[in-house]
Structure 1
Amino acid sequence: MADSLNQQEEQSIDLTSRRMLLRRLTDVVALPDSASSSQDRAIAGDILLEMLIDAGEQERIVCANRLVGMSQAPRRVLRYLGQDVAAVSTKLLEESEAFDQSDLVNIVVTGASYHRKAIAGRKDVGSCLSDAISQSRDSEAIIKMLMNDRAIVSELTIDRLVTMSRNMEGLGAILLRRPELRPAHALVLFWWSDKATRRNILKRFSAERGVLIDMCSDIFVRAAGDGWADPVVRKSLQVIERRQRNRDAIERSQYGSLEDAIAQMLKNGPKPETIDEISYMCGIKPLTGQKIFSDKGGEGIAVLAKSVGLKRQYFKALWAALGRPISRKDAPVEHFEDVLETYEMLAVAKAQTVLRYWNWSLSSSYSPEMLDEDTLNLELDTETNGPASRASRLVFGR
């Protein structure tokens, strides 16, 4: 009843003077330092904010557009207009330099999707702001931020987005264009990426390790002389060394060679114990082998085959031994041809780098903090599950 009376009373008032005062106050707060004092502008800003609360949308649009280019615009007025409807706030959020990162983070957290999308395209998106956008889980804002070459994306944000890419279609491919992406991110992202993204990951993040091998060559000699007694040194050098096949495992095996083991698996089927044995002979943990051999895409099998120096015919035999089709009666299977192309594309040393990184990440004391328990629904005890265990659960689902 009271609201109705207020509306009727307002309709009976000539609002011309109110509009004039609103625009005049906007003129005052938009004056440069040389033409007014900061105190005058502050008082005008407080009155302007009070009037904007009762102003119509068109009046708020006019005010917002006037303040876009003003670097000293009143912060309270900016925050109010920045959280307004899209017609009022969008241009202001996209272009105004008067916002500080704290104001923008607050709007990202409390605002709507159109607020976040407008902010994501700004030229001054810093690491704290990119972190807030990623925490919002707003897919459109996140993609716009990643496409913004001027945005600074923190490693923490990349970690979170790698996790989110597991359930957000297309995010992985966009993440690949970011220079902040590291091998630790990409080689985890690989497992749930599509064919094209996987190939790009292998092209960009596989490396020769030549510098590492040269710089650490004397340490290999010393560690071997010590009987590989230091587990930390042994684990680290396993990532760097040139040789991939495990000679000790091959000597202990019931099979004469890795190729013989593959031939037997082709004959007898992919039994779990045979897969574990092949994994050991390839110099990787059985858990790593299980992940690679069960991967639907199969590119991981190509990486394994090239890294251990399997010739093409044995790669085909391994593929067939795992129950994967190579050809139909009159033509090759298209999927196998794609994976074979990945095998041909990779150099041995680069394939070894990828395989060693996958294997090493399972037991390393360092592992990228890529887990978000709410996203992955993992109940992890932080006292008993360290970073390596958590990364293992992310990649291997165990």
Structure 2
Amino acid sequence: MADGLNQQVETQQDFRSRRMLLRRLTDVVALPDSASSSQDRAIAGDLLLEMLIDADENERAVCAKRLVGMSQAPRRVLRYLGQDVASVSSQLLEESAAFDQSDLVSIVVSGAAHHRRAIAARKDVGSCLSDAISQSRDTEAIARLLMNDKAIVSELSIDRLVSLSRNIERLGPLLLRRPELRPAHALVLFWWSDQATRRLILQRFSAERSVLIDMCSDIFAHAAKDNWSDPVVRKGLQVIERRQRNRAAIEKSPFSSLEDAIAHMLKSGYQAKTIDEISYLCGIKPMTGQKIISDEGGEGIAVLAKAVGLKRQYFKAFWAALGRPISRKDAPVEHFEYVLEIYEMMAVAKAQTVLRYWNWSLSSAYSPEVLDDNNNEVEADTEKYGPASRASRLVFGR
């Protein structure tokens, strides 16, 4: 009995001495440069790491908290504690300035969800780190990254996150917060966004192309002399030019004008060949026209109508000819009122920019053969695919 009691007392003394040594070693590594040599701190750090391996969670948490504000903390110790449970690692990962980006990328790749979320909230998230977080596909960590105004999100990450947002609805509004988001991203994101996000995209990412038109105006004459034989030049200038309606298509059309085609469809009913003809008259490819018209939201129809200069009564006629309700029992349909607001909100030049980008991106370099049937998520590959091709793969990639 006495022997057992003596052994228990000795064990408690051993634990007490262990805790004391752990605290003292922590004190040494936490000393400023002026109070100790780097060699002393390095030796103390090696000993501390050995002790932390056998320390309990509370002791590790105390050590981690002590090291949070220390810019010269031993890196081996930081990496060990940074991969610990949330109660130990979270504050250290989020606030410690002693980690370098390489350590943090390694923890994002090999760590758990709570590690990624803590790192995503840091003030010094660089482009390589944001890329690692976006590759993790951890929705919560990505959301924290996008809400972190101090973070630098790489273009590669934005490409990837636009693709992910197709299946993760909450990412769309968060992406719109980012200054790194470009029109090429936003006008693709549009197709699977909610109503509020679509409206914001059309307000923020449409442009009048005035600089492009002024700088490239002389090229149109040269292209015409070449009979528009260069397909790359032709596609580029189709985005830039002022005129939206296709005069050559009107000359070949069975209809005298776009308005005549709409009146015919209103009287005869919806027909795919009429939609194709209307697309040609509007200066867009039938593929683009079908995408706009088949979209449930209808905002794209408002953009199309404004871009080609349809008056309000013809926009209403077009909407009705597509089988979409305008009124019910003498009261306007709420959704049509919303789409009419989009029509009224858009300036003609800005609506043309949006429409032409869609036409360029949705029809450029699109071929069913280039789609990856084994993966609905289209990963960004800036070397293999340009913006237009990536956009078409994203929109039609399912």
The TM-score normalised by the length of structure 1 is 0.92
Amino acid at match of 2:174: I
Task: Tell me the CA shift for residue 199 of structure 1.
Answer: 0.6
How do 1:307-322 residues align onto structure 2 when only pairs under 5 Å count? Answer: 307-322=307-322
How do 1:185-224 residues align onto structure 2 when only pairs under 5 Å count? Answer: 185-224=185-224
Alpha carbons of 1:375 and 1:50: their partners in 2 closer, same or farther (altered >3 Å)? farther
Q: How many Å separate the matches in 1 of 2:194 and 2:280? A: 28
Question: Which residue of the partner structure matches residue 349 of structure 2?
Answer: 349
How do 1:296-375 residues align onto structure 2 when only pairs under 5 Å count? Answer: 296-364=296-364
Amino acid at match of 1:140: E
Q: How many Å separate the matches in 2 of 1:115 and 1:177? A: 24
Question: Which residue of the partner structure matches residue 5 of structure 2?
Answer: none
CA RMSD in angstroms comes to 2.4
Amino acid at match of 1:395: V
Q: Are 1:294 and 2:294 matched, yes or no?
A: yes
Q: How many Å separate the matches in 2 of 1:114 and 1:131? A: 17
Q: Is the 8 A contact 1:276 1:289 kept in 2?
A: yes
Amino acid at match of 2:18: R
Moved more, 199-208 or 220-229: 220-229
Q: Is the 8 A contact 1:64 1:81 kept in 2?
A: yes
How do 1:122-133 residues align onto structure 2 when only pairs under 5 Å count? Answer: 122-133=122-133
2:332 aligned counterpart, secondary structure: coil
Q: Are 1:22 and 2:22 matched, yes or no?
A: yes
Question: Which residue of the partner structure matches residue 146 of structure 1?
Answer: 146
Q: Is the 8 A contact 1:164 1:375 kept in 2?
A: no
The C-alpha deviation readout for 1:93-136, integer Å capped at 9, x for no partner, is 11100000011111111112111111111110000110111111
Task: Tell me the CA shift for residue 167 of structure 1.
Answer: 0.8
Q: Is the 8 A contact 2:207 2:349 kept in 1?
A: yes
Q: Are 1:182 and 2:182 matched, yes or no?
A: yes
Task: Tell me the CA shift for residue 390 of structure 1.
Answer: 4.9
Q: How many Å separate the matches in 1 of 2:308 and 2:387? A: 28
Q: How many Å separate the matches in 2 of 1:236 and 1:40? A: 65
Alpha carbons of 1:373 and 1:56: their partners in 2 closer, same or farther (altered >3 Å)? farther
Alpha carbons of 1:174 and 1:349: their partners in 2 closer, same or farther (altered >3 Å)? same
Task: Tell me the CA shift for residue 218 of structure 1.
Answer: 1.3
The C-alpha deviation readout for 1:217-250, integer Å capped at 9, x for no partner, is 1111222233222222211111000000000001
The C-alpha deviation readout for 1:139-159, integer Å capped at 9, x for no partner, is 111111111111000000000
Q: How many Å separate the matches in 1 of 2:376 and 2:394? A: 8
Question: Which residue of the partner structure matches residue 80 of structure 1?
Answer: 80
The C-alpha deviation readout for 1:235-275, integer Å capped at 9, x for no partner, is 11110000000000011000110001011111122211111
Amino acid at match of 2:342: T
Amino acid at match of 2:312: R
Alpha carbons of 1:42 and 1:360: their partners in 2 closer, same or farther (altered >3 Å)? same
Question: Which residue of the partner structure matches residue 3 of structure 1?
Answer: none
Q: How many Å separate the matches in 1 of 2:274 and 2:151? A: 49
Q: How many Å separate the matches in 2 of 1:108 and 1:365? A: 35
Alpha carbons of 1:390 and 1:148: their partners in 2 closer, same or farther (altered >3 Å)? closer
Moved more, 290-299 or 217-226: 217-226
Q: Is the 8 A contact 1:250 1:281 kept in 2?
A: yes
Amino acid at match of 1:60: R
Q: How many Å separate the matches in 2 of 1:375 and 1:68? A: 42
Question: Which residue of the partner structure matches residue 65 of structure 1?
Answer: 65
Amino acid at match of 1:21: L
Q: How many Å separate the matches in 2 of 1:169 and 1:372? A: 22
Task: Tell me the CA shift for residue 386 of structure 1.
Answer: 7.9
Task: Tell me the CA shift for residue 330 of structure 1.
Answer: 2.6
How do 1:37-116 residues align onto structure 2 when only pairs under 5 Å count? Answer: 37-116=37-116
Alpha carbons of 1:375 and 1:142: their partners in 2 closer, same or farther (altered >3 Å)? farther
1:14 aligned counterpart, secondary structure: helix
The TM-score normalised by the length of structure 2 is 0.92
Question: Which residue of the partner structure matches residue 161 of structure 2?
Answer: 161
Amino acid at match of 1:110: S
Question: Which residue of the partner structure matches residue 3 of structure 2?
Answer: none
Moved more, 37-46 or 77-86: 37-46
Amino acid at match of 1:33: D
Q: How many Å separate the matches in 1 of 2:357 and 2:231? A: 17
